[in-house]
Amino acid sequence: MVKASDLMIDPEFVQHDDPVEEVVEEFMGAENTLLVKKDGEVIGEIHEDSVLKAVVPEERLDEERVTGILGISFDSGFVPETAEDLMNEHAVSIDEEETLGEIAFLMFREDIRSIPVTENGEVKGVVHEERVIKEGDVE
């Protein structure tokens, strides 16, 4: 049986108040998700689509155009400045023994693309959706 410990990789972190420019730089070396920390706690995650909206020129932020590009909508007057502005917020985590099926269910239910693996409240790793899909038995 596949467990979180089999799927997790080392997490990549940014701080909630890191400027967008630093987040973009950090993203270049990351798998596909950055975990956002505030006061030592993981408060959310940043994905490629979130970083993409940070590089759309401000004068091009038009609801219809951006929705078409990203497949999401957001306030066209909003320009992200920090990691917290870019992140998707969530408070879900798992332990190393969590099973593949439960991980997939939690990701689906919470609409998240990665999930931190914790031990005694500390993040030990992260499981990305690509790894869940790759290991999943989809027929």
For 113, phi then psi, to 5°, come to -105, -10
Instruction: Give me the percent of the chain exceeding a pLDDT of 90.
Output: 37
What local confidence, expressed as pLDDT, does residue 81 receive?
87
What local confidence, expressed as pLDDT, does residue 94 receive?
95
Homologous superfamily of 4-135: CBS-domain (3.10.580.10)
Q: Which tens digits make up the pLDDT trace of 24-70?
A: 888 886 667 888 999 988 888 888 777 877 777 766 665 555 555 55
> What is this structure's pTM?
0.73
111: pLDDT confidence band, cut at 50, 70 and 90? confident
Average confidence score pLDDT of the chain:
82
CA distances for 76 relative to 32, 58, 62, 73, angstroms: 25, 9, 6, 8
Q: Is 14 helix (H, G, I), strand (E, B) or coil?
A: strand
Alpha-carbon distance of 106 to 69, in angstroms, equals: 27
More reliable by pLDDT, 47 or 19: 19
For 69, phi then psi, to 5°, come to -70, -50
Instruction: DSSP letter for 87, please.
Output: P
The count of other CB atoms within 10 Å of the CB of residue 43 is 16
Q: Do the beta carbons of residue 128 and residue 116 sit within 8 Å?
A: no
Q: Where are the domains of the chain?
A: 4-135
71: pLDDT confidence band, cut at 50, 70 and 90? low
